[in-house]
Structure 1
Amino acid sequence: MFKDSATFGDIPLSKKTISAITQMGFEEPSPIQSKTIPLVIAGNDVLGQAQTGTGKTAAFGIPIMEKISELRQVQALVLTPTRELAIQVSEELAKIGKFKKIKTLPIYGGQAIDRQIRTLKSGVQVVIGTPGRLLDHIRRGTIKLDHVNILVLDEADEMLDMGFIEDIESILEHVPKERQTLLFSATMPTEIMALADRYMHDRVTVTISKEQLTVPLIDQIYYETRDKLEGLCRVLDTEAFGRLIIFCRTKKGVDDLVASLSARGYISDGLHGDLSQAQRDRVMKRFRDGKLDILIATDVAARGLDIDQVTHVINFDIPQDPESYVHRIGRTGRAGKKGVAITFIQPREYRQLKLIEKQIKTRIIRKQLPSPADILERQIEVIKEQLARTIAQGGFEAYSNLIADMAEDYDPIDIASAALKLFQEGFKEKSQSPEERVSFGNTGAEPGMVRLFINAGRIQKIQPQDIVRTIAEEADIEGSVIGAINIYDKFTFVEVPEDVAERVLSVMNKNTIKGYRINIEPAKGR
Structure 2
Amino acid sequence: MANFSELNLSEPVLKSLSSMGFESATDIQSQAIPVALSGQDVIGQAQTGTGKTVAFGIPIVETVAREDTNIQAVILTPTRELCIQVAEEISKVGGFKGIRTLAIYGGQDIGRQIRSLRNHPQVIVATPGRLMDHMNRRTVKLDHIRIAVLDEADEMLDMGFVEDIETILAACPSERQTMLFSATMKPGVKSLARKFMRDFVLVSVKATEVTVPTIEQDYYEVPEPQKLDVLTRLLDIQNPELAIVFGRTKRRVDELSNALQTRGYMADGLHGDLSQKQRDTVMGKFREGGLEVLVATDVAARGLDVSGVTHVYNFDIPQDIDSYVHRIGRTGRAGKSGIASTFVTPREIDHLHQIERMTKHKINRRPLPTFTEAKVSKQRIAMEQLLDACEDENLSGFKSLAEEVLEGHDSLTVVSAAIKLLTKGTNEVPIKLTAEQPIRIRSPKNRERGGYRGDRHREGYRHPRGGHVRGRSRHQG
Query: TM-score with structure 1 length normalisation?
Result: 0.49
Could you list the per-position Cα deviations for residues 267-303 of structure 1 after superposition, in whole angstroms to 9, with x for gaps in the alignment? xxxxxxxxxxxxxxxxxxxxxxxxxxxxxxxxxxxxx
Aligned mates of 1:36, 1:204 — CA distance in 2:
9
In 1, are the aligned partners of 2:233 and 2:374 still within 8 Å (CA)? no
In 2, are the aligned partners of 1:152 and 1:182 still within 8 Å (CA)? yes
2:140 is aligned to 143
Q: Aligned ranges for residues 92-491 of structure 1 at < 5 Å?
A: 92-211=89-208, 220=218, 231=238, 318-321=331-334, 325=337, 361-363=361-363, 374-375=375-376, 427-428=418-419, 430=421, 479-481=436-438
In 2, are the aligned partners of 1:8 and 1:29 still within 8 Å (CA)? yes
**Structure 2 SS opposite 1:173:** helix
Query: 4, 13, 17: which is aligned to 1:17?
Result: 13
Aligned mates of 1:227, 1:219 — CA distance in 2:
14
Structure 1 residues 107 and 209 mapped into 2: Cα distance closer, same or farther (>3 Å)?
A: same
Q: Which amino acid aligns with 2:72?
A: Q
Give unpaired runs (5+ residues) of structure 2.
221-229, 241-329, 342-354, 381-405, 441-452, 454-472
Q: Which amino acid aligns with 1:120?
A: L
- CA-based RMSD of the aligned residues comes to 4.6
Aligned mates of 2:364, 2:22 — CA distance in 1:
26
| Alpha-carbon offset, residue 210 of structure 1 | 2.9
1:47 is aligned to 43
In 1, are the aligned partners of 2:431 and 2:438 still within 8 Å (CA)? no
| Alpha-carbon offset, residue 363 of structure 1 | 3.1
Aligned mates of 2:127, 2:34 — CA distance in 1:
27
Aligned mates of 1:29, 1:219 — CA distance in 2:
24
**Structure 2 SS opposite 1:44:** coil
1:89 is aligned to 86
Structure 1 residues 447 and 115 mapped into 2: Cα distance closer, same or farther (>3 Å)?
A: farther
In 2, are the aligned partners of 1:17 and 1:100 still within 8 Å (CA)? yes
Give unpaired runs (5+ residues) of structure 1.
1-5, 234-316, 329-341, 345-355, 380-404, 410-414, 436-445, 451-463, 469-478, 484-497, 499-520
2:59 is aligned to 63
Aligned mates of 1:46, 1:422 — CA distance in 2:
65
Structure 1 residues 200 and 362 mapped into 2: Cα distance closer, same or farther (>3 Å)?
A: same
Structure 1 residues 153 and 10 mapped into 2: Cα distance closer, same or farther (>3 Å)?
A: same
In 1, are the aligned partners of 2:77 and 2:127 still within 8 Å (CA)? yes
Structure 1 residues 31 and 225 mapped into 2: Cα distance closer, same or farther (>3 Å)?
A: farther
Aligned mates of 1:221, 1:90 — CA distance in 2:
35
Structure 1 residues 429 and 376 mapped into 2: Cα distance closer, same or farther (>3 Å)?
A: closer
Aligned mates of 1:28, 1:377 — CA distance in 2:
36
**Structure 2 SS opposite 1:480:** coil
In 1, are the aligned partners of 2:16 and 2:95 still within 8 Å (CA)? yes
Aligned mates of 2:233, 2:78 — CA distance in 1:
29
Structure 1 residues 120 and 343 mapped into 2: Cα distance closer, same or farther (>3 Å)?
A: same
In 2, are the aligned partners of 1:16 and 1:99 still within 8 Å (CA)? yes
Structure 1 residues 24 and 42 mapped into 2: Cα distance closer, same or farther (>3 Å)?
A: same
Q: Which amino acid aligns with 1:104?
A: T
Count of aligned pairs between the two proteins: 303
Q: Tell me: higher relative CO, structure 1 or 2? Use CA pairs within 8 A at least 6 residues apart.
A: 2
Aligned mates of 2:113, 2:331 — CA distance in 1:
34
Structure 1 residues 419 and 24 mapped into 2: Cα distance closer, same or farther (>3 Å)?
A: same
Q: Which amino acid aligns with 1:190?
A: P
Structure 1 residues 174 and 433 mapped into 2: Cα distance closer, same or farther (>3 Å)?
A: farther
In 2, are the aligned partners of 1:45 and 1:203 still within 8 Å (CA)? yes
Spell out structure 1 runs of 4+ moving beyond 4 A.
212-215, 218-233, 356-360, 364-373, 376-379, 418-423, 431-435, 446-450, 521-525
Structure 1 residues 164 and 226 mapped into 2: Cα distance closer, same or farther (>3 Å)?
A: farther
**Structure 2 SS opposite 1:21:** helix
In 1, are the aligned partners of 2:104 and 2:126 still within 8 Å (CA)? yes
Could you list the per-position Cα deviations for residues 452-495 of structure 1 after superposition, in whole angstroms to 9, with x for gaps in the alignment? xxxxxxxxxxxx8xxx5xxxxxxxxxx42369xxxxxxxxxxxx
In 1, are the aligned partners of 2:236 and 2:377 still within 8 Å (CA)? no
**Structure 1 SS opposite 2:168:** helix
| Alpha-carbon offset, residue 205 of structure 1 | 0.4
In 2, are the aligned partners of 1:231 and 1:369 still within 8 Å (CA)? no
1:76 is aligned to 73
Aligned mates of 2:188, 2:132 — CA distance in 1:
21
- Which protein has the larger Cα radius of gyration, Structure 1 or Structure 2? 1
Structure 1 residues 54 and 432 mapped into 2: Cα distance closer, same or farther (>3 Å)?
A: same
Aligned mates of 1:118, 1:318 — CA distance in 2:
36
Q: Which amino acid aligns with 1:319?
A: G
